[in-house]
């Protein structure tokens, strides 16, 4: 029996675990790639900037700004922006921008279809942008990256367009829950971020 033919709770119990694990590892890959880019651009090798960390990741409230070559910060940001822009517009123009909007658009208008090249391109380009000092955060890139993982897994299991849309939403929740260490928050976000004044109840259980 194909997994798409299983009862709802059985099917989404299995798929929820698979998407959660893979999307979680993709969020970890993004995190460590981001740390590598921070080291290359803003760390000791270029700017010498001691980057502050959140308290939950070993940071401290007693932070003092320090950069050995502070005048290189604009250069780092410009180089990162040019490099990430070149990567995105050469290989995957739909990976530009925040990321969350693109994932929601795929859910509503593209039957959950996200090209397979989007996750790796988004991972690398966003890590470069943030790591070089660009004005961006982790949530958008992680949402699009993990939504792409959900779409890929849906295609691998030959799911219907309706189930692919659910898989994309579950991916969003798994990625956000992983990158911010908030699994329940990620599950709720997966079901409610898709609408302004509504709730995707089918997403909540697998998320």
Domain boundaries, the chain: 8-204
Question: Distance (Å, rounded) from C-alpha 49 to C-alpha 127?
Answer: 17
> Residues in the chain, how many?
207
**What is the three-class DSSP state of 146?**
helix
- DSSP codes, 101-115: HHHHHHHHHSTT---
Those residues with Cβ within 8 angstroms of residue 142's Cβ, 6 or more apart along the chain or in another chain: 27, 30, 99, 175, 176, 178, 179
Question: Distance (Å, rounded) from C-alpha 25 to C-alpha 19?
Answer: 10
Q: For 193-205, what is each residue's pLDDT tens digit?
A: 988 888 898 999 9
Rounded to 5°, the CA angle 35-153-116 comes to 65
Q: For 168-190, what is each residue's pLDDT tens digit?
A: 999 999 999 998 889 999 999 99
Question: Distance (Å, rounded) from C-alpha 26 to C-alpha 152?
Answer: 13
CATH topology of domain 8-204: Clc chloride channel (1.10.3080)
Count of Cβ atoms closer than 10 Å to residue 46 Cβ: 18
What DSSP designation does 63 have?
Answer: -
**What is the three-class DSSP state of 33?**
helix
Residue 85 clears pLDDT 90, i.e. is over it: yes
Helical (H) or strand (E) element with 62 = none
Residue 56 clears pLDDT 80, i.e. is over it: no
Q: For 94-109, what is each residue's pLDDT tens digit?
A: 888 778 899 999 999 9
The pLDDT value given to residue 78: 94
pLDDT, mean of residues 73-89: 93
């Amino acid at each position: 029996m194909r997994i798409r033919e299983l009862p709802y709770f059985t099917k989404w119990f299995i798929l929820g675990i698979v998407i959660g694990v893979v999307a979680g590892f993709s969020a970890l890959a993004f995190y460590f790639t981001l740390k590598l880019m921070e080291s290359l651009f803003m760390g000791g090798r270029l700017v010498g900037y001691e980057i502050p960390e959140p308290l939950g990741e070993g940071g401290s409230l007693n932070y003092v700004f320090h950069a050995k070559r502070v005048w290189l910060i604009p250069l780092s940001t410009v180089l990162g922006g040019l490099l990430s822009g070149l990567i995105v517009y050469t290989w995957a123009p739909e990976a530009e921008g925040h990321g969350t909007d693109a994932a929601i658009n795929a859910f509503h208008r593209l039957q959950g279809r996200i090209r397979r090249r989007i996750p790796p391109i988004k991972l690398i380009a966003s890590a470069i942008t943030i790591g070089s000092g660009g004005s961006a955060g982790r949530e958008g890139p992680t949402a699009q990256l993990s939504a792409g993982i959900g779409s890929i897994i849906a295609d691998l299991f030959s799911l219907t367009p309706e189930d692919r849309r659910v898989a994309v939403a579950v991916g969003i929740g798994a990625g956000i829950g992983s990158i911010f260490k908030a699994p329940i928050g990620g599950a709720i976000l997966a079901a409610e971020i898709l609408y302004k004044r509504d709730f995707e109840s089918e997403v909540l259980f697998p998320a």
